[in-house]
Amino acid sequence: MKRITIMMACVILSGCTGIKEPIGAKYTPTTNVGAFVLEDLKAAKTNLDQAVQVGALRYDDPARKCLTAALVRFGTDDQESFEPEIKGALSYMTVPYIRGQQLASRQPVSDECKQLIGDLMVKGLSI
């Protein structure tokens, strides 16, 4: 029991990544890789939106619809959020619990959209 208490104290005092990150109404990635993927999705959607505006793509293009669905799964920068309060082991463990519940409650992206996004990436890498 003493070892567990000491280990928990070390973890709490070391400040794991993502624990003190603000929590919003929707799940937002807390890792560098997750943030990079989210920013890339936003940029790709912007490109497709601009293509629709200039007439290069139809409004109902499937890639645009898929990227929109993928982005809906994440929060936006302007959403309300709070910074978690950590006072001990119990309050510390509520953060991964909240983030896990957020991940579990997200709407799924269809298999067709996943395949289309994968195809876009493969074609882009082979050019």
Taking the domains of the chain in order of start, what are their residue ranges?
A: 31-87+108-125
Measured distance CA(105)–CA(121) in Å, rounded: 27
Q: What is the pLDDT of residue 13?
A: 47
Task: Please give the model's pTM, rounded to 2 decimal places.
Answer: 0.59
CB 35 within 8 A of CB 29: yes
Taking 50 as the pLDDT cut, the residues of the chain under it are 10, 12-15
Q: Residue 53: its pLDDT value, please?
A: 94
Neighbours of 127 (CB within 10 A): 4
Q: Are 57 and 51 in contact (CB under 8 A)?
A: yes
Is 23 exposed, middle or buried (CB count within 10 Å of its CB: 0-12, 13-18, 19+)?
A: buried
Tell me what pLDDT residue 36 has: 86
pLDDT at site 75? 62
